[in-house]
Amino acid sequence: MTDEKLKAAILVVSETASQDPSTDKCIPVLQDVFAKLGNDQWEVASTDIIPDSVLDIQKSIRTWTDSENPINLIVTSGGTGFATKDVTPEAVTPLIDRHAPGLVHGMLSSSFAVTPFALMARPVAGVRKGTLILTLPGSPKGAKENLEAVLKLLPHACVQAAGAASRPLHVGGVEKLENDAGVSSGSTAAGAASGHRHSHHHNHSHSHGGHTGPKAHTKTEDRPQSNDPSAGPTRRYRSSPYPMLAVDEALKLIEEHTPPPIIDKAPVDMALGGSVLAEDVKAAESVPAFRASIVDGYAVRIPSSGKFEKGVYPVALVSHAQAGDVQELEEGQIARITTGAPLPPGADAVVMVEDTVLNSQTADGKEEKEVEILTDEIKSGENVREVGSDVREGATIMKRGEGITVVGGEFGLLASVGTTEVSIYRRPVVGVLSTGDEIIPHDRPGPLSLGEVRDTNRPTLLTAVRSNNFEAVDLGIVSDKPGALEDTLRSAFAKVDVIITSGGVSMGELDLLKPTIERSLGGTIHFGRVNMKPGKPTTFATVPTKHSSSTASRVAKTIFSLPGNPASAVVTFHLFVLPSLHKQAGIVPAGLPRVKVALDADVRMDKGRPEYHRAIVAVARDGGLVASSTGGQRSSRIGSFKGATALLCMPAGEGWVKKGEQVDALLMGKVGAV
């Protein structure tokens, strides 16, 4: 480690202290712990006091973790109890990339040694980006004890979390780590911190509370998370525990947690359309590879005098556009040549056929014998495409990040220089499923029974995925019965990179998605509610993947759980899923292009939420873009998507945006004309 100190931040979460900072006692107490027990390794670089608000907590933490010069350790104090206002764990959990249950155990068991009421706290710990985050209790005494219990262990964790290589740190083994940290395996971290050193006597009895080893008193799956579906409707949450994010915040989380693209080698063939290059491509050959004529005519040799004379010349050779050797052209001879054919060695220029007349033919009348060249204004190199004049061997013909469009120009360029293989970003494979016991295949014959709904989302989303040039796998319809979803998701992740589900994310008791992702798959829900219309319950999560050495695989797989209402599902696909697919495929910029459009009629705003209004965008006579609404925007009404080429970004507010006024629009399809 360098001499530079580790930076800590203290975040006090308290309604009272946020109103009157002079009432806070935690900051001085914790600063004291860092100063006294911190082995001179810590600098408290920042402190803040905020109310019990999920958004405020997340905002403070993000400013510390997501900056260019991040803090090494954030300790929060307060809001970890069971009172309804206690939301610190709910705010911190979605921010954590990697959980550190060991630290939670350490803190709980050390305070359990003091009072069994310690178990009434719900601490979380883990790493976001390069920063370690711990949630301490709100009482100054509890906060102090908890921090003391683990502080000596933290420098090592923070240095690793900040990106130091683990190998050099671990040279010397556990013993060295313990010595450096000032702890020993014979004592708990708490014992070491408070100076109790006992000769090691292994004792599994818990009655002697003073020095039990760190031991979990709760299991991961028992800690508060999303709705527990097995607990039944009486126990379900009655309001969403997920904070409501703005669309931009949600997009930022998607950008942050979408795994980076993977690089593959791919043959240059038709399947390449839509791919993005992961490496520059250099031309292996020149184009043209030989000096070629650009006209039909006669190749001539300019005499050593430097001046070509007009007159009658014997046609000594013929060069067609075909492979094979061509003889040398002598001075005083000409060669008939076709467009694209190689110049004979010795030839300097080509006279076009229009500048010549036939003078005589062979005895059999089949060949030209002599041709008169009518001009003497021929310069060396005239009508010749020189070697490499289109593409020079070794030149970079395409750059990393450039796309191979389905239009074909890039494919042609690669083909022209004989490129057989390129490095590209692997395009993610996308699985699509619908959830709901009421959902039946769209093409099931016969009338519907009461309550049945034809599956609209799966076919629509599969089409949307494919039309954006991604491979889509149909994962079918999944029942709302516990277990079904978990099985489907698990087996799907063996073959796809991204899963899109629809339905099952609202607050009904059968809504199993969030619990299945968190509890059964060990995934992290990055957001579960977005302030928008339609699409409020849109959920984005990642599930870490096991690393297999045989094939490169993504570090995490992404799940988008879209709302069940069809129009909501399609809006949120375009708004949230596409940018993630683009990022995974290396496509820049990610997401739909944003343009300004003028409304062709008044459009009412939603009072509460920004609305993504389906519309048809066309080029007006003056060259500007105009948008017409597709009509009723109810979230269940998929008809609002018929013909739609754009999503208007309508601000929230009272009243109307008037005809002729401009709003932003996200373009999904081609712009037509009025």
| Phi then psi dihedrals of residue 168, to 5 deg | -60, -35
Q: Is 640 in the site for ligand AMP (CB under 6 A)?
A: no
Bond from prior residue into 303 cis (ω within 30 degrees of 0): no
Q: CB of residue 248 vs ligand AMP: minimum separation in angstroms?
A: 24
Per-residue contact flags (x/-) with ligand AMP for residues 515 to 534, judged by CB under 6 A? --------------------
**Pair of tokens at residue 74:** 């954030």
* Total interface residues for ligand AMP by CB under 6 A: 19
Considering the complex, state which of residue 157 and residue 575 has its C-beta at the smaller distance from ligand AMP: 575
Q: CB of residue 614 vs ligand AMP: minimum separation in angstroms?
A: 17
Q: Which helix (H) or strand (E) holds 122?
A: none
Considering the complex, state which of residue 423 and residue 506 has its C-beta at the smaller distance from ligand AMP: 506
**Nearest residue to 351 (alpha-carbon basis) of 363, 364, 367, 335:** 335
| Phi then psi dihedrals of residue 657, to 5 deg | -90, 125
Contacts 24+ apart (CB under 8 A), 232-236: 232/509, 233/509, 236/507, 236/509
**Pair of tokens at residue 302:** 């300019």
DSSP assignment of 568-607 equals: HHHHHIIIIIHHHHHHHTT-SS-S--EEEEEESS-EEPPS
- State the binding partner of 164 from ligand AMP, Mg ion, none, CB within 5 to 8 A by kind: none
Query: In sequence order, which residues have a C-beta less than 8 Å from that of residue 514 and are 6 or more positions away?
Result: 226, 227, 242, 505, 525, 528, 539, 541, 561
* Contact window for ligand AMP (CB under 6 A) among 101-109, 242-250, 344-352, 504-512: 504-512
Angle of helix 173-181 versus helix 154-161 axis, rounded to 10: 110
Pairing of strands 594-599, 625-629: parallel
Q: Is 567 in the site for ligand AMP (CB under 6 A)?
A: no
The residue from 79, 342, 504, 586 that contacts ligand AMP (CB under 6 A) is 504
Per-residue contact flags (x/-) with Mg ion for residues 428 to 457, judged by CB under 5 A? --------x---------------------
Considering the complex, state which of residue 257 and residue 458 has its C-beta at the smaller distance from ligand AMP: 458
- State the binding partner of 434 from Mg ion, ligand AMP, none, CB within 5 to 8 A by kind: ligand AMP
Query: Of residues 379-438, which lie at the interface with Mg ion (CB under 5 A)?
Result: 436
Pairing of strands 625-629, 556-562: unpaired
Contact 615, 648 (CB under 8 A): yes
Q: Is 537 in the site for Mg ion (CB under 5 A)?
A: no
Considering the complex, state which of residue 66 and residue 438 has its C-beta at the smaller distance from ligand AMP: 438
- State the binding partner of 565 from ligand AMP, Mg ion, none, CB within 5 to 8 A by kind: ligand AMP
- State the binding partner of 505 from Mg ion, ligand AMP, none, CB within 5 to 8 A by kind: ligand AMP
- State the binding partner of 502 from Mg ion, ligand AMP, none, CB within 5 to 8 A by kind: ligand AMP
The residue from 403, 503, 534, 535 that contacts Mg ion (CB under 5 A) is 503
| Phi then psi dihedrals of residue 628, to 5 deg | -120, 135
The residue from 505, 578, 657, 668 that contacts ligand AMP (CB under 6 A) is 505
Q: What is the C-alpha to C-alpha distance for residues 48 and 481, in angstroms, rounded to an integer?
A: 45
- State the binding partner of 456 from ligand AMP, Mg ion, none, CB within 5 to 8 A by kind: ligand AMP
Q: CB of residue 569 vs ligand AMP: minimum separation in angstroms?
A: 7
Q: Is 515 in the site for Mg ion (CB under 5 A)?
A: no
The residue from 80, 502, 561, 584 that contacts ligand AMP (CB under 6 A) is 502
* Contact window for Mg ion (CB under 5 A) among 145-153, 343-351, 501-509, 604-612: 501-509
Q: What is the C-alpha to C-alpha distance for residues 227 and 510, in angstroms, rounded to an integer?
A: 10
Instruction: Kindly report the length of the chain.
Output: 674
- State the binding partner of 439 from ligand AMP, Mg ion, none, CB within 5 to 8 A by kind: ligand AMP
The residue from 504, 566, 591, 610 that contacts Mg ion (CB under 5 A) is 504
- State the binding partner of 213 from Mg ion, ligand AMP, none, CB within 5 to 8 A by kind: none
Q: What is the C-alpha to C-alpha distance for residues 334 and 312, in angstroms, rounded to an integer?
A: 10
Considering the complex, state which of residue 180 and residue 438 has its C-beta at the smaller distance from ligand AMP: 438
Q: Is 89 in the site for Mg ion (CB under 5 A)?
A: no
**Pair of tokens at residue 652:** 């929230």
Q: CB of residue 234 vs ligand AMP: minimum separation in angstroms?
A: 19
43 Cα distance to chain centroid: 35
Considering the complex, state which of residue 89 and residue 563 has its C-beta at the smaller distance from ligand AMP: 563
Q: Is 38 in the site for ligand AMP (CB under 6 A)?
A: no
The amino acid occupying position 504 is G
Considering the complex, state which of residue 60 and residue 227 has its C-beta at the smaller distance from Mg ion: 227
Contact 145, 108 (CB under 8 A): no
Q: Is 629 in the site for ligand AMP (CB under 6 A)?
A: no
Q: Is 137 in the site for ligand AMP (CB under 6 A)?
A: no
Query: In sequence order, which residues have a C-beta less than 8 Å from that of residue 2 and are 6 or more positions away?
Result: none
Tokens 């319950």 belong to 537
Considering the complex, state which of residue 214 and residue 504 has its C-beta at the smaller distance from ligand AMP: 504
The residue from 38, 123, 564, 586 that contacts ligand AMP (CB under 6 A) is 564
Query: In sequence order, which residues have a C-beta less than 8 Å from that of residue 657 and are 6 or more positions away?
Result: 599, 602, 603, 605, 650, 651, 663
* Contact window for ligand AMP (CB under 6 A) among 87-95, 135-143, 145-153, 560-568: 560-568
Contact 85, 48 (CB under 8 A): no
Tokens 């005494």 belong to 141
The beta-strand segments (E) located in 129-222 are: 131-136
**Pair of tokens at residue 644:** 């739609």
Angle of helix 101-112 versus helix 140-150 axis, rounded to 10: 120
Considering the complex, state which of residue 60 and residue 565 has its C-beta at the smaller distance from Mg ion: 565
Q: CB of residue 111 vs ligand AMP: minimum separation in angstroms?
A: 41
Q: Is 76 in the site for ligand AMP (CB under 6 A)?
A: no
* Contact window for ligand AMP (CB under 6 A) among 52-60, 67-75, 360-368, 502-510: 502-510
Bond from prior residue into 137 cis (ω within 30 degrees of 0): no
**Pair of tokens at residue 313:** 């010349």
Query: In sequence order, which residues have a C-beta less than 8 Å from that of residue 611 and are 6 or more positions away?
Result: 532, 533, 534, 605, 633, 648, 650, 652
Q: What is the C-alpha to C-alpha distance for residues 23 and 140, in angstroms, rounded to an integer?
A: 12
- Give the Cβ contact number of residue 602 at 10 Å: 13
Contact 238, 215 (CB under 8 A): no
Q: C-alpha angle with apex 114: 131 to 175, nearest 5 degrees?
A: 50
- State the binding partner of 241 from ligand AMP, Mg ion, none, CB within 5 to 8 A by kind: none
Q: CB of residue 525 vs ligand AMP: minimum separation in angstroms?
A: 16
Per-residue contact flags (x/-) with ligand AMP for residues 429 to 468, judged by CB under 6 A? -----x-x-xx-------------x-xxxx----------
- State the binding partner of 79 from Mg ion, ligand AMP, none, CB within 5 to 8 A by kind: none
Q: CB of residue 504 vs Mg ion: minimum separation in angstroms?
A: 5
Q: CB of residue 521 vs Mg ion: minimum separation in angstroms?
A: 19
Considering the complex, state which of residue 427 and residue 514 has its C-beta at the smaller distance from ligand AMP: 514
The residue from 388, 508, 544, 639 that contacts ligand AMP (CB under 6 A) is 508
Contact 383, 295 (CB under 8 A): yes
Residues in contact with ligand AMP by the rule CB under 6 A = 434, 436, 438-439, 453, 455-458, 502-506, 508, 563-566
Residues in contact with Mg ion by the rule CB under 5 A = 436, 503-504
